[in-house]
Structure 1
């Protein structure tokens, strides 16, 4: 079972953990300080707005990739990564998806190699 976990999959999992801890720490801080989260995000000046739009567009493109790629590889519940991003963070769910995608691709390669050839 562990043979499907490649070094690249572990890198993606590590990034997912960093994304989860890093974003959740500041989300909790925002709640504790009773800040206007969206106001701070989009009203913090041109530089903050620029990076916010940059990351939002990248997250939308990556969300489309998650849906398309999960369907192509036959991964069930690909949409759940997008939904979970709203509850946790896309910095967590996207690398997590990439890790699971890497496992799936490794599994498929191993299955193809093991299949008898005619």
Structure 2
């Protein structure tokens, strides 16, 4: 195993934990909203006041940037066939779920790539 492998595994675990937290955290609130929308549409709630509008624009811009990064990095890693699935899932489920998931999978791929290099001390 390479020297960097434990660090990459630990970081991948952090990303996967954040992904799970993003899934549970966002959908706990989504389910609560759909149970009682309080007269608002879903997107209407995003833009209900200046504070929520600011947060909504913040999330939308970061989500778009993350999607561009996932597609570009996915192409670089040779994942272009399946990485596109994460783009619609980012908006249908949550970017807080898909982006850390992508980063965790990326760490594992970078670890495998490093271990395959000549001179690697992979076990």
TM-score by structure 2 length? 0.83
> Is 2:104 aligned against 1:66?
no
Q: Deviations over 1:26-76 (max 9, x none)?
A: 11111111441111111x211110111011111101100000000001124
Alignment counterpart, residue 109 of structure 1, candidates 87, 110, 114: 114
Return structure 1 stretches of 4+ with deviation > 6 angstroms: none
Equivalent residue, structure 1, for 2:55 = 51
List runs of 5+ in structure 2 lacking aligned partners: none
Compute the TM-score of the two structures, normalised by the length of structure 1.
Answer: 0.87
Q: 2:29 aligns with which of 17, 26, 29?
A: 26
Gaps of 5+ in 1: none
Query: More helix by proportion, 1 or 2?
Result: 1
Equivalent pairs counted in the alignment come to 112
